[in-house]
Chain A
Amino acid sequence: MRELVVQYLSDSISRRGFMKGLTKAGLTVTAANAVLTSVSSVTQAQTPEPIPPAATPPAPAQAPGAPAAAARGGTAAIAGVKQFQGSGGACFAEQLIASGVKYVFGNSASEDAQFYEALVDRPQLKYILTPHEGPGAAMASGYIKASGEPAIVMQAAVVGLANAIGQIFNAHKEQTPLVVYSYRTDQTRRAGRDGFEEVANQEQIVQPITKYTWLARRPDMIPEAVRRAFKAAWTPPHGPTYISWHSDFNDERVRTDIIEQSHFDPRMRVRPNPDEVERAAKLLVEARMPLLIVGDEVYKAKAAAKAVKLAELLGMPVTQARQAYANFPETHPLWVGNIPAGTLNSQTFPKNYDVVINVGNKFQHNGPAPVVPRGPKFIDMRIDRDSMGNVMLTEVPLVADVGLGLDDLIAAVEGLLTPALRQKAAERATEVRRFSEQARAMRALVANNPEWDESPLIADRLTHEIAQFADQDAIIVHEAGSVTLHGFDFNPLGGRELFFYYGAHLGSGVGMSAGVKLARPNQQVICLVGDGSFIFGPTALWNMARLQLPVIVVVYNNHAYSGPHSRVIANVPGGRMVQTGQFVHDYLGSPDMDMASIARGFGVDGEVVTSPAQLREALKRARTHTVEGKPYLLDVQVARKGVGWAEKPWIPPIQIAALREKKV
């Protein structure tokens, strides 16, 4: 039989001859068919099988998507597996479709010509041209986050990839399953001469900030590389992946297997260890003051309602350290507010927690002190097992999909709750509710700021007005780094949603909001962005205009990098900078940038807002625009507040007018 297989694989015998040989060797027809199917699959997956090049331009040998099996005399069909022949670029497109991709976010690359060619007859795969790879990748991330569906970013070799790296970094930090492709030229037939776009080991550029990088070694392996990328990116914990192959491969004609996503998705939904669940439940029910910290895995697992149920069972206060999403309803009486500074010590309430359970928060430790101080017992429930136990002493690790983990923990807690323990939980809930009501009243005092009505606006006034204006199910994309939001009452259970950032490579907000709107066309999307961040990535405005994505973009424009300004003073208190007012690094005015004019250049209407009264009218105009399907930008002039800001900030005396000897 081995000889028969060899003959078949080398095309020395036909399919019929192969079958005849198998039955002659004693196999039943059913068994022979099974062998044939298996061998055919191996053939397609493992054997480089070049197809003679077609004429130029390549005339399709058959209709797009036509099974390659036809050329081989046909093989037994396997549901979800299609044999395909065509260019490498067409194979790429076919596998993307089979992987469930609807949108490709790309920037022009001539070496991807065969891929573009394949798109002409595959309208279900939509290519969105993004004028810069960074905002393009941010747009893809926004789409993926808001839709829960796969997408891909593609760009030209290393030159385009370099522009996207910042947003790949953000995806890495925020654990977004962003798949990125770019071709390479370092090992093609033209390589080895320091040629155009050639750099050695291109994939190593992104290796530290991706979950997985993979190269297709032959053109017929392009679909396999694509499948690997999507499988790795979407297997929890999520993260960006990068795939690449030699640009020549896109032009070669091959036959290969195209496999639907369901066949390579490991469906990794992990339940926690039952023994650890019991330990965690016991700690929680016996605690004097348990505290729940929620994080992004809750949002991703759509498990906010389960987090609410666990908190209510135990009368347990709930908080959150900085994350990308709001993971718990902020109007809930057990919600005690976000952790204001880096650690739980900065919380006003509770101070006497003795058991802390984290559900899905990756934690960003930005100082020597851990987010959860040592002392209380710590339970950590997450699927991101790699970041567990690194900084905090962990009493009970619960590696799990947090949705399933919460199910199990809730059941275990319910099993342990006696009437006396339920009474204790109820009393604790009353105490937490009392604090929450007081805290809510105290937060409202933000509007008592004596500068509340001034022009230019203080940032808190602008935030307040947006919170008053936003729809009850609005999505707020937040990239105003120096602004802490308040008054929105985010609620992942059908209320307002937050898409914040975690990675801090700037320029994500505008692109992110465009992608979110693409995914959620029936919800109001408002992008809040600082002027410093905005100017890193405004090109996605053009996408909003072209794709008719009615996003309201609000720029907090104080003509400065406020965050670095404050932190520099904190790092060098009383230094020469403070004494002289000479800060070289933070003032973006003189001349002042006009973001509304920039928006108009991209085809988006907008206006400059200078006063609170003008803001309300401008917001009405913004709503009118979005109702009509058009994006709108508000460039809101915001006051620079804090230590060391002069009315007219000093600017470094670097001007060459005095050096000019010729008026040219």
Chain B
Amino acid sequence: MRALVLCAAIFLAAPAAAQQPPAADSGPQHPGREVLMGKCFQCHTDAMWRDHRAERRGWEAAIHRMIGRGGLWTAEEIKLMADYLGTDFGPDAPRAAPPAR
């Protein structure tokens, strides 16, 4: 029988030392970005979601799913992150170029 490894998110996580947060853009930053940078990358990189595009509600739901996996944020922090992601990673935001092979 095959052994599939369907593990919890803890197995997904890249080590903190290897995390690569999104490159900083020039100009003023959304306040939610700062929260996201400080609160998410202790567990994982952005590789899992940077290609994802969704309305704000979808991002808010995604952040709430991370609470079940151990993420700890205040309601205000959740709001700020959802605002940021819904803006910069909304349905019409351009996707990053695929990595070079």
Q: Which residues on A are within 8 Å of B, measured CB to CB?
A: 134, 163, 166, 169, 322, 337-343, 345-346, 348, 366-369, 438-439, 442-443, 445-446, 448-451, 458-460, 463, 481-484, 486, 504-507, 530, 532-533, 536, 561-564, 566-567, 569-571, 573-576, 578-579, 641-644
In the assembled complex, the CB of A255 is this many whole angstroms from the nearest CB of chain B, namely 41
Contact of B68 among A345, A451, A484 (CB under 8 A): A484
Give a binary string over B32-61; 1 marks a CB under 8 Å from any A CB, 0 the rest: 000000000011110111111000010011
Asked if A569 and B6 make an inter-chain contact with CB atoms under 8 angstroms apart, the answer reads no
Which of B1-42 touch A at CB < 8 Å? 1, 3-18, 42
On chain A, the residues within 8 Å of B44 by CB distance are 341, 570
On chain B, the residues within 8 Å of A446 by CB distance are 64, 67-68
Question: In this complex, which of A340, A438, A442, A450 has the most chain B Cβ atoms within 10 angstroms of its Cβ?
Answer: A340
18 contacts between A and B (CB under 8 A): A339-B70, A342-B13, A346-B16, A366-B11, A367-B15, A368-B18, A369-B18, A439-B72, A451-B64, A460-B64, A460-B67, A504-B5, A561-B4, A563-B5, A563-B12, A641-B62, A641-B65, A642-B48
Contact of B48 among A346, A481, A569 (CB under 8 A): A569
Asked if A570 and B64 make an inter-chain contact with CB atoms under 8 angstroms apart, the answer reads no
On chain B, the residues within 8 Å of A562 by CB distance are 6
Contact of B7 among A463, A504, A574 (CB under 8 A): A504
Q: Which residue of A lies closest to B70 (CB)?
A: A340
Asked if A574 and B96 make an inter-chain contact with CB atoms under 8 angstroms apart, the answer reads yes
**Distance, CA A80 to CA B48, complexed state (A):** 61
Give a binary string over B87-101; 1 marks a CB under 8 Å from any A CB, 0 the rest: 000000001111100
Asked if A460 and B68 make an inter-chain contact with CB atoms under 8 angstroms apart, the answer reads yes
Q: Which residues on B are within 8 Å of A, measured CB to CB?
A: 1, 3-18, 42-45, 47-52, 57, 60-62, 64-65, 67-75, 78, 95-99
A439-B72, A561-B4, A575-B99 known; A369+B17 contact, CB < 8 A:
yes
**Distance, CA A571 to CA B5, complexed state (A):** 15
A345-B42, A445-B67, A504-B6 known; A570+B12 contact, CB < 8 A:
yes
Asked if A346 and B6 make an inter-chain contact with CB atoms under 8 angstroms apart, the answer reads no
On chain A, the residues within 8 Å of B42 by CB distance are 341, 345-346, 348
Closest 3 CB pairs of A and B: A340-B70, A341-B13, A369-B15
Asked if A463 and B68 make an inter-chain contact with CB atoms under 8 angstroms apart, the answer reads yes
On chain A, the residues within 8 Å of B99 by CB distance are 573-575
* Interface SS, B side: loop
On chain B, the residues within 8 Å of A570 by CB distance are 12, 14, 44-45, 47-48
Asked if A484 and B15 make an inter-chain contact with CB atoms under 8 angstroms apart, the answer reads no
On chain B, the residues within 8 Å of A483 by CB distance are 8
**Distance, CA A366 to CA B11, complexed state (A):** 7
Q: Which residue of B lies closest to A506 (CB)?
A: B4
Q: Which residue of A lies closest to B50 (CB)?
A: A573
On chain A, the residues within 8 Å of B68 by CB distance are 446, 459-460, 463, 484, 486
On chain B, the residues within 8 Å of A134 by CB distance are 1
In the assembled complex, the CB of B49 is this many whole angstroms from the nearest CB of chain A, namely 6
Asked if B6 and A340 make an inter-chain contact with CB atoms under 8 angstroms apart, the answer reads no
Asked if A169 and B48 make an inter-chain contact with CB atoms under 8 angstroms apart, the answer reads no
On chain B, the residues within 8 Å of A567 by CB distance are 11-12
**Distance, CA A564 to CA B78, complexed state (A):** 27
On chain B, the residues within 8 Å of A443 by CB distance are 67, 72
In the assembled complex, the CB of B61 is this many whole angstroms from the nearest CB of chain A, namely 5
Contact of B1 among A163, A342, A369, A574 (CB under 8 A): A163
Contact of A346 among B8, B13, B49, B60 (CB under 8 A): B13
In the assembled complex, the CB of A320 is this many whole angstroms from the nearest CB of chain B, namely 11
Q: Which residue of B lies closest to A321 (CB)?
A: B10
Asked if B96 and A322 make an inter-chain contact with CB atoms under 8 angstroms apart, the answer reads no
Asked if B1 and A166 make an inter-chain contact with CB atoms under 8 angstroms apart, the answer reads yes
Q: Which residue of B lies closest to A503 (CB)?
A: B3
Q: Which residue of B lies closest to A530 (CB)?
A: B6
**Distance, CA A517 to CA B99, complexed state (A):** 50
Asked if A342 and B47 make an inter-chain contact with CB atoms under 8 angstroms apart, the answer reads no
